A = this chain, B = another copy of it.
């Protein structure tokens, strides 16, 4: 069954994966409360706990030069391969908050540890929200203590709310994955980044499975899948201060996924589809977004395809054209030319929705009516050919709309 979660033609549901009822993978419980961080009074502090003391985990973080305090605390004060707990808040990113912010993040980690009685270094902390404003650590600690008393196995819905800021829709999944050795569960909760609110930092994603993995396997699968998902999206070209992705494996299913086994391959395919779909959902959640694009660049070398794909995905001209359903390939040619300076003459091929509009750097003979019709869809694919072969990459990106400007220009701190 191709479930409702996989709602993009770019991310087909693997045959061995099924949408499950909501709920966390076995061995996990979560809860969330309104702790008073969000001005709206909404749910803003979440706690996620793995009941297995021998949990295996892996984590990935933003590489920004301006790291939020919770990211620093995770990297310097947590056992990233054995995380039992995630303590998260929305409404305040605890970023650009200096030494005081680090102390608050450490206190947040300790408060979560105390609330569920684990060592502090088994706790990851994550924050999202406004940058540069002190986070009230006492509110967070009180919220975590309250949440600890309410943990339950279907707490993923409220936990997702606790990490959301202006997300237009929840980004959550619960999947049943049939491996050769048995059936396991994958659950995940994510929130979008950028293009959503002016000074709201962060892409957060927390993934749980009840499969039993070696630490190296968890590390490998997360690393590869993040590279193919969250690393391949561009909302507005802004790298956040708080981006965090954590995978936790409880082993509660009793299904062991051995390294280099068919189980590993099948679980990897499922995790890949899960993270890619969440990444596409984040792109789709750009405020005012009407259409999303996927650009595939082939040819040249690895650096060239990466630069060209990013240049197209981040071009405000291309994004506006996408928004307006305008198959304006001149802007794409310009973006590629700018990304690859001193490479003229560039034998460029551009296809939009399978229609070749430019070949050998000049206009191709195409059916404009068919092109215009194709450009009016909600998912538009651009395929760019550079001279040579061997390299290929893709980037998913959102459009640029009036609403984006309204939110980001007319909103005042």
Interface residues of A (CB under 8 A from B): 63-67, 72, 95-101, 130-134, 194-195, 198-199, 201, 236-241, 314-317, 320-321, 323-331, 333-346, 348, 358, 360-363, 372, 399-402, 404-413
**A409 neighbours in B (Cβ, 8 Å):** 320-321, 323-324, 326, 399-402
Q: Is the CB of A320 within 8 A of B198?
A: yes
Bound together, the chains give a CA A323 to CA B406 distance in angstroms of: 10
Q: Is the CB of A326 within 8 A of B198?
A: yes
Q: Which of B66, B131, B239, B362 contacts A96 (CB 8 A)?
A: B362
| Closest residue on chain B to residue A71 by CB atoms | B344
Q: Can you show 27 pairs from A to B with CB atoms below 8 A apart?
A: A63-B342, A65-B342, A67-B344, A95-B333, A96-B348, A98-B360, A101-B362, A132-B333, A132-B362, A132-B363, A133-B363, A134-B363, A198-B320, A198-B326, A198-B330, A199-B328, A201-B334, A237-B314, A237-B315, A238-B316, A238-B334, A240-B334, A316-B316, A316-B408, A320-B404, A330-B413, A402-B405
What's the Cα separation between A307 and B241 when bound, in Å? 17
A84→B342 CA distance, assembly (Å) = 27
Complex interface: chain B residues within 8 A of A402 (CB): 402, 405-406, 409
CA distance A339 to B324 in the complex (A): 30
Given contacts A198-B326, A338-B239, A410-B324, whether A361 and B66 have CB atoms under 8 Å apart is: yes
- Bound complex: CA of A316 vs CA of B314, how far in Å? 10
Among all A-B residue pairs, the 5 with the closest Cβ atoms? A66-B337, A98-B362, A131-B330, A320-B408, A239-B338
Given contacts A64-B341, A320-B404, 12 further A-B pairs with CB under 8 A are A65-B336, A72-B344, A132-B362, A236-B316, A237-B316, A238-B338, A239-B334, A320-B405, A325-B412, A326-B411, A328-B413, A330-B413
Bound state CA distance, A320 and B402, in angstroms?
Answer: 11
> Which residues of B sit under 8 angstroms from A330, Cβ to Cβ?
95-96, 130-132, 198-199, 201, 413
Which residue, A100, A339, A400, A405, has most C-beta atoms of chain B within 10 A?
Answer: A405
Instruction: Tell me, rounded to whole Å, the shortest Cβ–Cβ distance linking A410 to chain B.
Output: 5
Within the oligomer, what is the number of copies of this chain?
Answer: 2
A398 CB to nearest chain B CB (Å): 11
Q: Are B363 and A238 in contact (CB under 8 A)?
A: no
Contact partner, A405, options B195, B348, B405, Cβ 8 Å: B405
Specify which chain B residues have a CB less than 8 angstroms from the CB of A362 in the assembled complex: 96-101, 132
Q: Contact at B317–A194, with CB atoms within 8 Å? A: yes
Residues from chain B with Cβ under 8 Å of A372 in the complex:
412
Question: Which of B241, B321, B404, B408 has a CB less than 8 Å from the CB of A334?
Answer: B241
Q: Nearest residue in B to A315 (C-beta to C-beta)?
A: B238
Which residues of chain B have C-beta atoms less than 8 A from A340's C-beta?
65
Q: Report yes or no: B131 in contact with A334, Cβ–Cβ below 8 A.
A: yes
Which one, B66, B315, B408, contacts A336 given CB within 8 A?
B66
Report if A337-B65 is in contact (Cβ < 8 Å); known contacts: A320-B408, A401-B405: yes
